[in-house]
Amino acid sequence: MRIVVFLVSLFALAVVGYAGISGYFLAHGVAGMLMTGPLSAALATAEPPTDPLALGYRGDPMKAFSLPFQTVALETPLGAAKAWLVPAAGPEAGRAIYVHGIAGAREDGYRALSILHEAGWSVLLISYRNDPDAPAAPEGSYGFGLTEWPDLEAAVANMAPTDNDPGLLVVAESMGGAILGQFLAQSPLAIRVKAVALDSPALSFDAVIDHLATQSGKPLPAVVAWTAKQVLPIETSLPFARAEVSVPYQAFAGPLFLAHGSADRIVPIGPSQALAAARSAPTVTLWTTADHLGSYAADPAAYRAAFTDFLSRLTP
């Protein structure tokens, strides 16, 4: 009997040790992703594509599409952040703001810009804290929307309402979805947003940790994820328990476009599907088998058709 108790205790100790070590390394890896230096440097050293519609392309709207644009300085709480305003070519059908994801850039919004400009929309592609053309955050890391949403608020304030203005469309991708969700939940200017378009949105930090643990292929992913969530508050100073934005999107009364791929290795598709099912307001969805932010590349024609259909519901 003592041998059985000893073996069980030894096994339990081994599991605890394994979970502690694996959870620590997962938490450390996630904390590293949130740091502004390493990921940004890795992306900067990669050879950018030459196609403006490919993720990772770098170059202003004139270089990319021969589109005239203005550089606008957005007055954020940390200082001026540059944005590109691409005006509509003719009568304006609407106005949109694009918010990129973690370590991304304004150019990541060119897929949406190409569709919006064709439909007669003016588009503001913004930068926010920790971008090259924006102030650095004091903590030196990304905040999963908890710290960045005031920078989006500055962009919304810049797009002042005009006569017969139907309100703003905000297009957000990846962590941009977390930024927009926090803005909708906390900003008094949220009422200016009348429509939302999301691609691979990071709706839940908790779900992202669970997903990364599962994607690692390690045994007992739920235990590893739980351990990582206990370690992360020590690794960072941010209250990630508040980094959940499904509820603001469920409550959002305007039309919503949502694209997500089932093979996403970073942000799980489950919260997006749950959001679409929970909403009572108009929702246009595009489910694909693509990886993170890969739904457009997987089928550009289908993506453009779905997004154009969504836009047609926003304009008279």
Architecture label for domain 52-203+243-312: 3-Layer(aba) Sandwich (3.40)
- Greater model confidence, 282 or 224: 282
Residue 219: its pLDDT value, please? 62
Among 21-25, 76-80, 191-195, 202-206, the least confident range: 21-25
* Percent share of the chain, pLDDT over 70: 78
Residue 153: its pLDDT value, please? 98
Tell me where in the chain the CATH 3.40.50.1820 domain(s) lie.
52-203+243-312
Q: Which amino acid is at 243?
A: A
- What residues have CB less than 8 Å from 261, skipping those under 6 apart? 200, 269, 287, 288, 289, 290, 291, 292, 294, 295, 298
C-alpha–C-alpha distance, residues 291 and 262, integer Å: 7
Count CA atoms within 13 Å of residue 263 on its CB side.
Answer: 7
Over 70: is that where the pLDDT of 108 sits?
yes
* Percent share of the chain, pLDDT over 90: 66
Highest mean pLDDT among 136-140, 171-175, 217-221: 171-175
Over 50: is that where the pLDDT of 12 sits?
no
Residue 300: its pLDDT value, please? 97
Residue 2: its pLDDT value, please? 52
Buried b (16+ CB within 10 A) or exposed e, 48-63: eeeebeebebeeebee
Buried b (16+ CB within 10 A) or exposed e, 192-212: bbbbbbbbbbbbbbebbbbbb
Over 50: is that where the pLDDT of 17 sits?
no
Instruction: DSSP letter for 129, please.
Output: T
Residue 24: its pLDDT value, please? 40
Alpha helices in the chain (DSSP H): 2-34, 36-45, 61-65, 110-118, 149-158, 175-186, 205-215, 221-235, 246-251, 270-278, 295-298, 300-312
* Paired tokens of 242: 């508040």
Over 50: is that where the pLDDT of 22 sits?
no
State the chain's mean pLDDT as an integer: 85
Confidence at 197, pLDDT banded by 50, 70, 90? very high
* Paired tokens of 248: 């603001």
In whole angstroms, how far apart are CA 188 and each of 156, 180, 192? 11, 13, 9
pLDDT tens for 199-232 read 999 999 889 888 887 776 666 667 667 776 777 7
